[in-house]
Amino acid sequence: MQDNGNAATVMLGLDGFVLLAVSCKDGEFEQAIETLDAEGMCRSCGVPARLHNRRPTWVRDLPSGGRPVTLVWVKRVWRCVESLCAASTWTETSEVIRARACLTERARAEACRRVGQDGGSVASVAREFGVGWGTVMSAVREYGEPLIADPARTSGVVALGVDETAFLAANAAHHTIFATGMVDVRGRRLLDVVPGRSGEVLSQWISAQDLVWRDRVEVAALDPFRGYASALRTSLPDAIRVLDAFHVIRLGFAAVDDVRRRIQQESTGHRGRRDDPLYAIRRVLRRGAEHLTEHAWARLLAGLDAGDVDQQIGLTWIAAQDLRRIYHSASRSEAETRLYSWFVHCADSGVPELRRLATTIDSWTEEFLAYFDTGGISNGPTEAMNLLIKKIKRVGHGFRNFDNYRLRLLLHCGLDWQTHQTTPLRGRLPRLAA
């Protein structure tokens, strides 16, 4: 019997507790437990206390074998026998099961990890643990906030990426609400998100970092948004500002889209419809030339033949592909030469969207070419981060509360979870073999 008790207590694995009994009802486990503190001392006068009563308290623990677990902690109520003592009776307490808690502390920590590291929804974790949404969310807050507030989390950044991201999509009451995300480009972690997308919010965030942190940043990758550039110029004057390649390439394809829409509108008098030749190739037009299959090439050419009457789309498409190819230059001087011919191509094209794009890039020449001085630093990781951000937003069904949104994002994209590495089963010594 003693052995059974030990085995059960090992399975329970809750510090300071032993397992008394297990029952299974309606697919749920109920485990009766008690503390190891079989003797009590009066906390007021220090004399040995007498067991006065037993009082059960119910709390959810980690699911076991896929089944929700309820612990019934049979608490001891102690009474002081010293007649002069002011203490009469008191109930024992524990660090691992807090007073009036719905979940054990280890279950709360795990709930936070499931939501944070695994990116699970609060609702699904709540269902699995058999508790309410608020119980899980408060565990995520309590366990998660210290993790993301730890200064070590954001230390040692050499290349900073800055990008805007949509926090709330537009609805009847408001326009799209944006946020600014800061990313450690080399370490591939999200450093922070702040509401707004102005240079001001970026400056404020950088100023809040300590001097050592700011001194370490050598490169800042940004999307072509003036506000960020001037904020970086003043708050991180020694960092090289690099126009992010991904955004530049996207600008090129955005110009192709703009021209396609305009030509479509001019020639058909309406917006794209499924059977319009140009509308049919809108996605093919956004792809890099080297990714096109033979079939895609044939579709692209046929679509342009049918709809691109004066070759404005074709010219813009070539410019977008060339802009992309400049990034394959072996050196800054080669990139500079290619960029110059690209400007000429845009100017000669007579396509207004393309001229506008060239003017934009021209105003960013220094930041554009800096890419080739910094060993090709790119905001690619920032972009990968944006995909993760979108995933978390989907899981959260759109956040309303910015603090919750920030917490969830940083737990998922901004943290190294030091989780226990499970030993592989194979190659283990058969410790329990008879």
Q: In the bound complex, what is the minimum distance in angstroms from residue 49's beta carbon to Zn ion?
A: 7
Which lies closer to Zn ion via its Cβ, residue 93 or residue 331? 93
Q: Is 418 exposed, middle or buried (0-12, 13-18, 19+ CB in 10 A)?
A: exposed
Please pick, from the candidates 18, 22, 44, 124, the single residue that binds Zn ion as defined by CB under 5 A: 44
Binding of Zn ion at residue 79 (CB under 5 A)?
A: no
- 410: tokens are 């940083």
Q: In the bound complex, what is the minimum distance in angstroms from residue 81's beta carbon to Zn ion?
A: 8
Which lies closer to Zn ion via its Cβ, residue 85 or residue 166? 85
| CB-CB contact of 321 with 298 (8 Å) | no
Mark the segment that binds Zn ion (CB under 5 A) among 79-87, 162-170, 285-293, 324-332. Answer: 79-87
Neighbour-count burial for 152-179, b at 16+ CB within 10 Å, e otherwise = ebbeebebbbbbbbebbeeeeeeeeebb
Mark the segment that binds Zn ion (CB under 5 A) among 34-42, 58-66, 70-78, 321-329. Answer: 34-42
Report long-range pairs for 81-88 (Cβ below 8 Å, ≥24 apart): 81/47, 81/48, 81/49, 81/50, 82/42, 82/45, 82/47, 84/45, 85/42, 85/44, 85/45, 85/47, 86/44, 87/42, 87/43, 87/44, 87/45
Give how far Cα 152 sits from Cα of 8, 117, 303, 415, 420, Å. Answer: 39, 18, 54, 10, 20
Q: In the bound complex, what is the minimum distance in angstroms from residue 48's beta carbon to Zn ion?
A: 10
Q: In the bound complex, what is the minimum distance in angstroms from residue 54's beta carbon to Zn ion?
A: 20
Paired residues of 79 in beta bridges: 50, 89
Which lies closer to Zn ion via its Cβ, residue 87 or residue 296? 87
Residue 301 contacts by C-beta under 8 Å, 6 or more apart in sequence? none
Which lies closer to Zn ion via its Cβ, residue 85 or residue 384? 85
Binding of Zn ion at residue 42 (CB under 5 A)?
A: yes
Which lies closer to Zn ion via its Cβ, residue 44 or residue 155? 44
Kindly give the residue spans of alpha helices, DSSP state H, lying in 283-433: 294-307, 312-326, 332-349, 352-362, 365-369, 380-395, 402-413
Binding of Zn ion at residue 80 (CB under 5 A)?
A: yes
Q: In the bound complex, what is the minimum distance in angstroms from residue 132's beta carbon to Zn ion?
A: 39
- 434: tokens are 């008879």
Give me the 314-353 binding string for Zn ion, x by CB under 5 A, dash otherwise: ----------------------------------------
Where do we find the tokens 């030990």?
Answer: 6
Which lies closer to Zn ion via its Cβ, residue 80 or residue 281? 80
Residues numbered 403-432 forming contacts with Zn ion, rule: CB under 5 A: none
Residue 417 contacts by C-beta under 8 Å, 6 or more apart in sequence? 113, 116, 117
Q: In the bound complex, what is the minimum distance in angstroms from residue 91's beta carbon to Zn ion?
A: 15
Residues numbered 201-220 forming contacts with Zn ion, rule: CB under 5 A: none
Mark the segment that binds Zn ion (CB under 5 A) among 27-35, 44-52, 237-245, 422-430. Answer: 44-52
Counting residues that bind Zn ion (by CB under 5 A) gives: 7
Rg (CA), the chain: 31
Where do we find the tokens 């192709």?
Answer: 256
Which lies closer to Zn ion via its Cβ, residue 90 or residue 343? 90
Residues numbered 83-122 forming contacts with Zn ion, rule: CB under 5 A: 85, 87
Which lies closer to Zn ion via its Cβ, residue 88 or residue 265? 88
Q: In the bound complex, what is the minimum distance in angstroms from residue 85's beta carbon to Zn ion?
A: 3
Which lies closer to Zn ion via its Cβ, residue 87 or residue 194? 87
Give how far Cα 229 sits from Cα of 200, 244, 269, Å. Answer: 11, 12, 40
Residues lying near Zn ion in the complex (CB under 5 A) are found at 42, 44-45, 80, 82, 85, 87
